[in-house]
Structure 1
Amino acid sequence: MGNMDAALHVNNTVYLRWMESARVEMFRKMQGGDFKSSKIVPILAWQDCKYIFPVTFPDTVIINLDIIELMEDSVLCEGKIYSTTHDRIVAISKSSLKAYDSEALKKHDFPNTWRKSFLDFYGDSILK
């Protein structure tokens, strides 16, 4: 029952987990599939979510995640969650990711390889 609220809508925390899964998959693809062996990993600095329309069971959602701004020490993401049943956006989430050294247990400079991957895919439009 934790995935649904009293009105039988998908619980708001599930939307956040969907966005987390999309971010993990994005970085996994950037690392060529080898995400777990990396010493420097992305961590979530903050996230917000605007809930637009309730998702109810059964439904299939599609998540579209984009990088909207690349900064010196972080990246700003925007994700849109679509309901295939209702053919509409059901939520929009923004999040900021930073680099973290999992061995030293502290913030790390944003890796140049990450910057290059984002710029190769999105171009200079994500630089502000």
Structure 2
Amino acid sequence: MSEKTYRPRREDFRRFYTIGTRWGDHDSYGHVQNVVYYSFFDSAISHFLVEQGTLDIDSSPVIGLIVESSCTFFSPITFPDQVTVGLRIAHLGTSSARYELGIFCNDEPTVSALGYVVYVYVDRASNKPVAIPRLVRDELLTLTD
């Protein structure tokens, strides 16, 4: 099965966040703009990290920087749809994590879009890669299979 035809289902993800689409999210064709999907990804990951107490946006000494991202689109989302972002960790390295995110439209069982974001964890002051802190790693492990 090709990657383009592989459409994960809700049960393939470990954590979920619901986000409403906004009037300005759509393009002239009535579809949510591609860039907004990346905002959904960023919001879900940040929400998870803050909720778990592993990220203080203003003062965490170790932060995750995005070094790679991608999104495959399967079916359109429009306004006023509800979006649920499914979150899981596909790979957890020493200083990096690959988050996989499924965008679900309303109550659909399969993804409308599937993306990934690779974070490299760095020292905030030096911007040099460091090992993922134990507290962060423990929370990220809850998102793995």
| Partner in structure 1 of residue 66 of structure 2 | 44
1:105 matched residue in structure 2:
127
> AA paired with 1:26?
F
State the Cα deviation string for residues 30-79 of structure 1 (Å, max 9, x = none): 32674432121111111100011111111101001111211122111110
CA distance in 2, matches of 1:69, 1:105: 22
Scaled by the length of structure 1, the TM-score of the pair is 0.82
Please, which moves more after superposition, 62-71 or 95-104? 95-104
Q: 1:76 to 1:32 in 2, by over 3 A?
A: closer
Alignment of 1:63 with 2:82, yes or no, is no
Which ranges of structure 2 fall in alignment gaps of 5 or more residues? 1-22
Change (3 A) 1:122 1:57: closer
User: Does structure 1 conserve the Cα–Cα contact (< 8 Å) formed by 2:95 and 2:129?
Assistant: no
TM-align CA RMSD: 2.2
Contact 2:25–2:79 under 8 Å retained in 1: no
* Partner of residue 8 from structure 1, selected from 24, 30, 54: 30
User: Contact between 1:100 and 1:106, CA under 8 Å: does it hold in 2?
Assistant: yes
Tell me which moved more, 71-80 or 12-21: 71-80
- CA gap of 1:85–1:58, structure 2 versus 1, over 3 A, is farther
Higher relative contact order (CA 8 A, sep 6+): 2
Determine the structure 2 residue equivalent to 1:96. 118
| TM-score (normalised: structure 2) | 0.73
